[in-house]
Amino acid sequence: MNANLFAALHVAFPQDLDRCAIECADTAAELRYSWRDLERGTAMLANLLVSLDLPPGSRIAAQTEKSVEALMLYLAVLRAGYVYLPLNPAYQAAELRYFIENAEPAVLVCAGRHFGWISKLAFLAGTRYVFTLNEDRSGTLLDRAAQMSDVHAVAEKEPDDLAAILYTSGTTGRSKGAMLSHRNLLSNAQMLKDFWAWRSDDVLIHALPIFHVHGLFVASHGALLAGARMIWFAKFEPRAVIQRLPQASVFMGVPTLYVRMLQEAALSPDVCRAMRLFISGSAPLLIDTFKAWQSRTGHTILERYGMSETLMLSSNPCRALDGERIGGTVGPALPGVEIRVVDEQGQACGPEVIGHVQVRGPNVFSGYWRMPEKTQEEFSADGWFKTGDVGRFDAQRYLTIVGRSKDLIISGGFNVYPAEIESFLNEMPGVAESAVVGVPHPDFGEAVVAVVVAQAGVSLQGADLIATLKRQIAGFKVPKQVFVVDELPRNAMGKVQKNLLREQHRSLFA
């Protein structure tokens, strides 16, 4: 049997190919794509790739704005049997040079306005073809594909063949290319289809970027594998998304998207009347946001946990019969996925004991592209992937993520978990959110420092927050200094960039 992920998506296309598959919600003119359009478009793009006579395993890199054509390019790369490499359109020259030199893509697709400098970079690194694809669907990629046949037989693939390389967001050090196989992607997509009870009459609001695991895989695969329609936003705009909620049944977002929708007066139980599922992931969902969403809409957000290297790992239950959704947790391990929490010696931690999160399963990647030593370091001797996350199970095996192990602060020999301090700060009146980091300190090795954002219209004093914390937690955990700022630095997926905060405050105690 052909293990190509595209083959599985393909057979899931509905019988009536003229049905709408994707409706664009934020283009100037109304734009709808039928399943037949996806079928023909991906065939023509796949035929274009085949016509280039590329070596097997060639990487096809794409740095484009979000569009349905860009999604079709991804699907066409799978269809033709090559390896897809999505790149964040925000990357600048130095970053792009690194990815191009590291991955050596045979083909690169970029926006026409960047063709000059990007093609120079790419040709120097050995890339054979550079095509353009613009937001308005113009560019050489589609011009060339338009001349191709719209009939294409899906390339034969083995389960372990590479399907995509996702560069990790790299908030510290060089970003690494996670190699994902057809088996990794398909097993995860099929399991989520059942676990989240996807149906062909679902309608997904797709408002996430498609250079990242969340929007490209979790959201798109979910809808495609169910033969469900998507309402497609090239950019997230809270008001516009809320306006379309009455026609939708599933929404996926990073926590920031929920926070921004909560700021809109139009958000109400009535606009959510057709919704069955709100999913959050990619960064921790604050308990306040979870509760505010419940009271404003009557819906309980389902929080799940995953990463580029492993796809989805755990999820709060979808169906009531599977259990309750518990805010602040990322739920139990998903079916077929194994998760363990271990101490420094690799021994399993008991309930409520914090340790390192390690995982195993058909979803876990095979390694980092051209980094065998790094790959070896990140797997335990008995084959578990070290996620780099720190967490704890409760008695019912619901997992809570406490932070990244590299964010762990060791102050005066004591372990301080930033998430614990952040949760105390976030509970304080007037605090909207916070980030806790460790910075070098001559006596303690590291000192705890907090950066806090106040709720609108509230004025906070760092010294008052410190005084309150002193009454609540052990002295060594109390930040030496608390800064009040307008906002926390975040990357495109809504993750707080703690490396920037550490950098900013590194000389505080020097």
Give min distance, CB of 282 to ligand AMP, in A.
Answer: 5
Give min distance, CB of 187 to ligand AMP, in A.
Answer: 18
Cα 275 from Cα 298, distance rounded (Å): 11
Give min distance, CB of 213 to ligand AMP, in A.
Answer: 5
**Closer residue to ligand AMP (CB): 47 or 169:** 169
Q: Is 52 exposed, middle or buried (0-12, 13-18, 19+ CB in 10 A)?
A: middle
Among 387, 444, 452, 460, binds ligand AMP (CB under 6 A): 387
Binding pattern for the stretch 282-301 against ligand AMP, x by CB under 6 A and - elsewhere: xxx-----------------
Give the tokens for residue 332. 């139990």
**Closer residue to ligand AMP (CB): 307 or 333:** 307
Among 69, 303, 433, 446, binds ligand AMP (CB under 6 A): 303
Give min distance, CB of 9 to ligand AMP, in A.
Answer: 21
CB 195 within 8 A of CB 331: no
What secondary structure, in 3-state letters, does 348-416 show? ECCCCCCEEEEEECCCCCCEECCCHHHHHHHECCCCCEEEEEEEEECCCCCEEEEEEHHHCEEECCEEE
Among 43, 49, 230, 330, binds ligand AMP (CB under 6 A): 330
What phi and psi values does residue 168 have, to the nearest 5 degrees? Answer: -70, 155
Cα 416 from Cα 40, distance rounded (Å): 55
Give the tokens for residue 354. 């914090």
Give min distance, CB of 341 to ligand AMP, in A.
Answer: 14
Cα 437 from Cα 306, distance rounded (Å): 23
Q: Among 333, 77, 288, which Cα is nearest to 195's?
A: 333
Give min distance, CB of 330 to ligand AMP, in A.
Answer: 5
**Closer residue to ligand AMP (CB): 296 or 404:** 404
* DSSP single-letter state for residue 106: S
Binding pattern for the stretch 99-118 against ligand AMP, x by CB under 6 A and - elsewhere: --------------------
Binding pattern for the stretch 180-219 against ligand AMP, x by CB under 6 A and - elsewhere: ---------------------------------x------
Q: Among 350, 354, 311, 353, which Cα is nearest to 334's?
A: 311
Among 404, 441, 480, 502, binds ligand AMP (CB under 6 A): 404
Give the tokens for residue 75. 């699907």
Among 105, 281, 331, 332, binds ligand AMP (CB under 6 A): 281
Give min distance, CB of 313 to ligand AMP, in A.
Answer: 9
**Closer residue to ligand AMP (CB): 127 or 169:** 169
CB 224 within 8 A of CB 250: no
Binding pattern for the stretch 155-174 against ligand AMP, x by CB under 6 A and - elsewhere: -------------xx-----
**Closer residue to ligand AMP (CB): 389 or 422:** 389
493 sits near ligand AMP (criterion: CB under 6 A): yes
Give min distance, CB of 84 to ligand AMP, in A.
Answer: 16
State which H helix or E strand residue 288 sits in: helix 287-297
Pairing of the two strands 385-393 and 399-404: antiparallel
Q: Per CB under 6 A, which of residues 126..155 are in contact with ligand AMP?
A: none
Cα 80 from Cα 58, distance rounded (Å): 11
Q: Per CB under 6 A, which of residues 307..326 are in contact with ligand AMP?
A: 307-308
* DSSP single-letter state for residue 219: I
**Binding stretches for ligand AMP (CB under 6 A):** 168-169, 213, 281-284, 303, 305-308, 330, 387, 389, 401, 404, 493
